[in-house]
Amino acid sequence: MSIGFHVRVASYLGDRVAAVRELSEINRVLRQAGHPEYHEPPGEPEGIRNIFGRTRRFGRAWLDHNGASTFARLGETARQRLGQQTTMLPMLLDGHPLYFLPIAFSEARLVDPEPMYVGGPPYRRHLCSSQRTASELLALAKFLDIPLDGETLSDATAQEINEGGEEVKEVWLTTFEAVRLSVAHSCAMVLG
């Protein structure tokens, strides 16, 4: 099954009423944990997607989606290589939607797993910090043989990852670009 990143909670849910309700719940969880609220931009910020040739790209990543099992492999690799240093990337193993928010916090937060509709199954989703996730991805880069210039990924290295055909590295790049753009544009990215 292919999953991918959606820009903004509202575009992920596709329904304005559901988005208002979900954003209210997200902010309740953030307030309860002592974090600032998330304020959703009214539309997709410019610069998140760019056009290269005839294709729309997600930042510097060629893809904004991949197989759920590949995202899970990235989460497992992070757990094995980084151990207790990683709190966000292991959430990729959960198989439920992840909301990457442009707010700094150190532990993922679970939004109450209430059903999306009456009589439906629990709908689990975690709130993850884009800043913390970026930090974890940078720490994981050395284990994936992704060269960095300090804490910067060069455009040339991003291009090599795109052309290299290694799925875990491609998912690393897709996730890195999602959280980088989330912080740069103060916008949630939803993996689901």
- Give tens-digit pLDDT for 15-49: 999 899 999 999 999 999 999 999 999 999 988 88
Nearest-angstrom CA–CA distance, 177 and 155: 11
- pLDDT tens, 95-133? 889 999 999 999 999 997 666 666 666 778 999 999 999
Contact yes or no for 88/128 (Cβ under 8 A): yes
Which pLDDT value is given to residue 90? 97
The answer on pLDDT for 145 being more than 60 is: yes
Residue 63, burial from CB neighbour count under 10 angstroms (0-12, 13-18, 19+): middle
Tell me what pLDDT residue 129 has.
Answer: 98
CA distance 15 to 138: 34
Amino acid at 25: E
Q: Which residues have CB under 8 Å from 137's CB, separation 6+?
A: 89, 172, 175, 176, 179
pLDDT higher than 60, residue 58: yes
Position 94 scores a pLDDT of 86
